[in-house]
Amino acid sequence: MEEKLAAEIARIMDNTEVQPNRKLDRLVNFLKESQLAYTTTLRPAELLAHPHNRGGSMLNPLDVHSKGQKLLDLGFRPSLLTDSIAIELSPLEDKRNEQIRANTDLSERSNGLLSPVLGSERAMTVSSSHTTAYLKASLMKCKRPNSGGSLSLEDECMRDAVNQGWPWLLISWRAEAMAPNLPAFVQMVLNSVHSVGLACQEIEAAQQVALMCTSGSTVKDAVNSVKDLALTVAVGEETFKAITAWDLQDLDRLKSAQHRQALLQAEQILEHGYQVYRDAGETPAVQRALGRMMVRLSLLLTKKEKYGREKVMYESQEKVAQLFATEALNTNPSGASSAGGSEADENREEDRPLNLLGGMSVGEQALLQNPHLKKDGKYVHADYPDKIFVFAGLENDEAKFVHTPLFASPDIVMTSPEHFKKWKVTRLPVPSVLAADESVKSTYGGSAVLNDAKILADGQQQLFQIFADQNTGDSSCLHFIHPTAVYTSESFAKEKLRLIPLANMTRAKEGQKLSLWVEWNGNKYQLSPFPQLKDFGEQPKKTDTIVPFYWIKTTSSEEEVNMVVQWKTVAGMKLPMLVNNKKVAKHTMLMQASKELLQKQEKEKGSLKRKAT
């Protein structure tokens, strides 16, 4: 069933005989009939931008603000919000995280111009994206560009759109899973016809082509799709004509795994040839020799030699490299001397002999023909199994390869030029011994990470010990009430009831605001309470706990307060504990001061101090 649906979606989108708008109408009708799309009302807070929008660039924050300001200047009208289409967030964890992460990265890159991810989103826009992003940024009071203050929802119509939303066509996530190019198709069609749509720029067109290729399209199909759909596209027409005129199957064929080694070899040959060109002083003659080598390699790789100017079938890439070396020695491709030519011929730079390689030794010329050999590169040889060598350069026209055992003297192998090709490149790492002084920095005793972890572990153990020794309130003398409250089951004299905040400790970051913390070994640690029992009616979870410190209710009445926070230093740890500041009778609810009451008390203390002075 899924395959049939996917095939029909692809057939509708790929139909070149139907105009883009008609294709979109047919696609929407088919998705609705197949229960893969429906109309619903969505608010900006429920929407993200689809990661495939505009070739993967999603949104330009400055374009969002520019378009939003234009809508305000003209007078925002909710009736203009038509053809709004979105796609459901994927329920698959990895895919959903990828979609959310793309929007998080977009928000962070915007430097405060776009809203962060709120957590209430359930769909991604493929149209009305800039308007939605502007409204969402206004809701979150994001800053304006160029330090122009913050956005707001002063416009009543904008406020209604943000709070109430407007109709959207919501496409199922399953449809995108069947047709990965679906978001790009919808977005390009709608952006091409909306008068307020932003035209697809040249770089976006290139991005869109690349994105469609990664989704399974061929280069040719992707280019044609972008040209067909992006009616407002501003692209270099000559570029696209050149791309579509070439037999793009050649490029697709080169992407296959079987051509990988050939492409890597060609890359090495070109890199070495370019270095020769640089070493020769970047002369025009050698530049032309390098250019001819590039063309020959391209023709050889695509098997198009017969279409080249020379009409020559090259045997291998090595032959092309050798031809370059010959032409670099003498720019006459045939290798014949030009010394006997006319004066005019001698003045032609194309035919004049070069002294580029005239001073090169046999070994240096052999290196030119074996571009895979690079100084400090790693190599293996069939005669020396299980050993990795490093190419150290030439000595007396021989290549020097060095293998360094872990606990022995280096092995050196000298190779004559005719055997250079027997050495093969390897990506395996060269085994090495970490210096003792460096290893100390990462092992127990020298590692700051491990030392901090030990201090934290000691502190956590100390907190448990303090709780065991100092905490005097537990189920033997307290009643725990639902919802969260604590009553005494016996009376307590003043300062005889002590409650310790048992919790997980984590090292506080510099400048971090802490709500509940302890100080240990000169550092502050945030306290994160264990999950507390909440519902008495159900079977408690194994992870639920009762730590009385966290069950004490707050009050704004000073008369009701019978528990106060006292900071104590116990066994080297500074920590807060709740202590009864008055005698507490049996069956009394334990209460501590609320935040408002504490602030009020602080103000009163400040007033008394000022009066005293």
Helices and strands, number each (H, E), in the chain: 20, 20
pLDDT of res. 231: 40
pLDDT of res. 422: 95
Tokens of 253: 């064929």
Residues 6+ apart with CB under 8 A from 253: 259, 302
List, in sequence order, the alpha helices (H) in 199-316.
202-214, 219-229, 237-245, 249-254, 260-279, 284-301
Phi and psi torsions of 467, nearest 5°: -60, -45
pLDDT of res. 249: 57
pLDDT of res. 226: 57
**What are the average pLDDT values for consecutive 10-residue runs of the chain, which has 613 residues?**
87 84 90 92 94 81 87 82 90 92 91 91 92 93 82 88 93 92 83 46 54 59 57 42 47 71 84 80 81 86 75 82 79 38 40 43 83 94 95 93 94 94 94 89 91 95 96 93 90 96 94 92 94 79 90 94 96 96 96 93 80 68
Q: Please, are residues 547 and 466 in contact by the beta-carbon 8 Å criterion?
A: no
pLDDT of res. 464: 97
Length of the chain, in residues:
613
**DSSP track, 33-54:** HTTSEEEEEE-GGGEEE-TTGG
Instruction: State in Å, rounded, how far the first CA of the chain is from the last one.
Output: 86
Q: How far is CA 157 from CA 80, 88, 477, in A?
A: 12, 26, 60
From 338, 432, 425, select the one nearest 378 (Cα to Cα): 425
Residue given tokens 């909306």 in the structure block = 194
pLDDT of res. 274: 82
From 567, 577, 533, select the one nearest 551 (Cα to Cα): 533
pLDDT of res. 327: 82
CATH code of the domain occupying 470-604:
2.170.270
d(CA 210, CA 251) in angstroms, rounded, equals: 13
Domain boundaries of the chain, sorted by first residue: 2-197, 199-252, 257-369, 378-425, 470-604
Residue 173: other Cβ atoms inside 10 A: 20
Residue 2: other Cβ atoms inside 10 A: 9
From 419, 416, 411, 371, select the one nearest 394 (Cα to Cα): 416
- Residue 300's Cβ-side half-sphere holds a number of Cα atoms within 13 Å equal to 20
Query: Longest Cα pair distance anywhere in the chain, in angstroms?
Result: 122
Residues 6+ apart with CB under 8 A from 336: 330
Residue given tokens 């460096």 in the structure block = 438
From 50, 185, 203, 234, select the one nearest 130 (Cα to Cα): 50
